Structure 1
Amino acid sequence: MKPSKRAPRKAWEVFPGKNTFYCDGRLITANDKTVLCITASLISLTTGLFLFNDYRITLRDQPYGVYMLFACLLLYFFVMLMLFRTSFSDPGIIPRASSSQSAQVERQLIDADVRKNGYTGYKPPPRVQEIEINGVTMKQKYCFTCKIFRPPRSSHCSICDNCVDRFDHHCPWVSYSSSSS
């Protein structure tokens, strides 16, 4: 009998955040799906109210009313498609450091502090690290949860419990995020 080789686990199977994965890790969403349902319901409700109230008058008074119905339904389906596409896409999650990586970063920071200041006791890593990119000095903040220095424009999201790249596009109304592309 041959020993069975365990297939390597995929990154999404060991993902530490508060996310739910579908379709073998191709779709990702936050645990709380009620916000997505509320958003989809509000879009559907306003479209329905338009069709029930305003469209009836347009259909009765204008000869192009059927075209307006087609345009309205086309826009509705496009908006819903983009909502679900955005909802189930990756927001740009920055991977957390493994325990060995975080220990190495802490050792390097402590060693640098000892060389610089002669300090020999333990203190937590600094909250900011300065790096130079193309001659421009940028500050990276340290995330104590993910144990990484985050790039600019990223922040830790308390809803999905991950550091998210381009946090200014991370939206709870779509139950997760917008695309990071």
Structure 2
Amino acid sequence: MAKPKRVYQVWKGSNKFFFGGRLIFGPDAQSLLITISLIVVPVVIFCVFVARHLLHRFAAYDAGFAILAVAIAFTIYVLVLLLLTSARDPGIIPRNSHPPEEEFSYDTSVQHPLEGPRHTPSLQFPRSKEVIVNGMPVKIKYCDTCMLYRPPRCSHCSICNNCVERFDHHCPWVGQCIGLRNYRYFFFFVSSSTLLCIYVFSMCALYIKFLMDEDYPTVWKAMRHSPASVVLMIYCFVSLWFVGGLTGFHLYLISTNQTTYENFRYRADNRPNVYNRGCISNFLEVFCSRVKPSRNKFRAFVQEEPPLPPPTSRYREPESESTNEPRSKVEDDLEIGGELLKISRRRNSTEVDEELRGRSSNGMHSVASEAELNMGSETQHATSRPEVRNSSWGRRSGSWEISPDTLPRRPPTA
């Protein structure tokens, strides 16, 4: 017996799982190694070439050791926030295995370019709906990939191939989507990285100042004595433009209760922000609200869903009320084929009777010959019936036509 699989083993998104589904990353998780190296390598250089020389600069209470300890502790804190941002479910909405059945409608006016109108209705449902948020209507769209109506502020990430609640953006530096469940940790990571850059820059500048007060009276001589300090200062200055600017931008987004996706997409629409509840309430919503549990149990065993009933029963119900409603495909096709056969037989037998009446004055010989031909035509009708029935097998609805070979032939005239 095959061992049952877990949810993360059959996951349809593009995510990568580690430690038996306990950690979930985006498909570009390898970029996380670059981000870690951009944090760890400069701090190691700082500890070896700068902080080590500051250990004995503050004799009272051995305060110099605090500079090294703060740098290490701050770096560990930033790495933990990075892991909490990139290795957890950002708010993925589980996808459905079939479209929402309660939204089905049936359209019988579908035209086929070759066959004309179809007798079998086609399944359709609305592509968008409106919901009320804070007393204002908000349009939500249907996701063809996840087969669900996206909740408000939800969007489908094309990189992770998932619908994410309160989707902010997909960050390549952390290799994960930023959404409802990890936005708080993302902001703490960015802001803490900004503070770490400021701290390293300040300590390097302080070390240059100590060198100038001793044997290196000019800035250039002090910088030549400690090139590592110069490199770290330049690196931190450039990084501050990135992480510092990102921190300021997200402070603005939090104060107005926006996401990056909403800010860039709806900036030119001038539509009112239905989620803005005031600056203080917006900050409390992000930092003081409880993080919702994940909707996905990645380590749970996969359970097979029962098969859905055929949708034909949905449009058979009105048939008892109105005779104009389309019947099922097989019954409709058989009835049409039988009616055509009766009409063809009735038409030919009538024509034969008329010809017999018109030629009755020609004598008994022609009457006998006509009667023989009539009997032959009836025999031909009897033999052609199974051919007509067999010719309808495999045909599609809307294309019922009886070939001339299966119709009864008219008797030859004398």
Shorter-chain TM-score: what band? 0.7 to 0.9
Task: Tell me by how many angstroms 1:176 deviates.
Answer: 1.2
Question: Separation in 1 of the partners of 2:109 and 2:50?
Answer: 74
Deviation of 1:137 after TM superposition, in Å, equals 2.7
- Structure showing greater relative contact order (alpha-carbon pairs closer than 8 Å, 6 or more residues apart): 1
Which residue in 1 is equivalent to 2:68? 69
Distance 2:42 2:92 in 1: 33
| Structure 1 segment 1-181 matched on structure 2, within 5 A | 7=4, 9-63=5-59, 64-99=63-98, 102=99, 104=101, 108-111=103-106, 120-121=109-110, 125-132=125-132, 135-168=135-168, 170-178=170-178, 180=181, 181=291
Query: What is the Cα deviation at residue 90 of structure 1?
Result: 0.7
Question: Which structure's residues are more often helix, by fraction?
Answer: 2
Q: Secondary structure at the match of 2:105?
A: helix
Q: 1:40 to 1:164 in 2, by over 3 A?
A: same
In the TM superposition, residue 150 of structure 1 has moved relative to its aligned partner by: 0.9
1:168 is matched by which residue type in structure 2? D
Aligned residues between the structures: 167
TM superposition shift of 1:43: 0.7
Distance in 2 separating the partners of 1:36 and 1:120:
53
Shift of 1:20: 1.6
CA distance change for structure 1 residues 6 and 53 in 2, over 3 Å: closer, same or farther? closer
Partner AA of 1:55 in structure 2: A
Q: If the length of structure 1 is used for normalisation, what is the TM-score?
A: 0.75
* Aligned partner of residue 130 in structure 1, secondary structure: strand
Alpha-carbon distance in structure 1 between the residues aligned to 2:126 and 2:45: 54
1:26, distance to aligned residue in structure 2 (A): 1.7
Identify, as 1 or 2, the structure richer in strand: 1
Query: Structure 1 pair 47/95, CA: closer, same or farther in 2 (3 Å)?
Result: same
Percent of pairs with identical residues: 39
Cα deviation for residue 168 of structure 1 reads 1.0
Deviation at 1:95, TM superposition (A): 1.1
- Structure 1 or 2, whichever has the larger Rg, is 2
Q: Could you tell me whether the CA contact under 8 Å between 2:28 and 2:172 is conserved in 1?
A: no
For the structure 1 residues 170 and 92, does the alpha-carbon distance in structure 2 shift closer, same or farther, using more than 3 Å as the test? Answer: farther
**8 Å contact kept, 1:36–1:174:** yes
C-alpha distance in 2, partners of 1:76/1:144? 42
1:54/1:166 Cα in 2 relative to 1: closer, same or farther (>3 Å)? farther
Q: Deviations over 1:23-57 (max 9, x none)?
A: 33221112322210011010112312332454245
**Structure 1: 5+ residue stretches without partners:** none
| Aligned-residue CA RMSD (Å) | 2.9
Cα distance in 2 for partners of 1:120, 1:10 equals 44
Query: Structure 2: which 5+ runs fail to align?
Result: 111-121, 182-290, 292-414
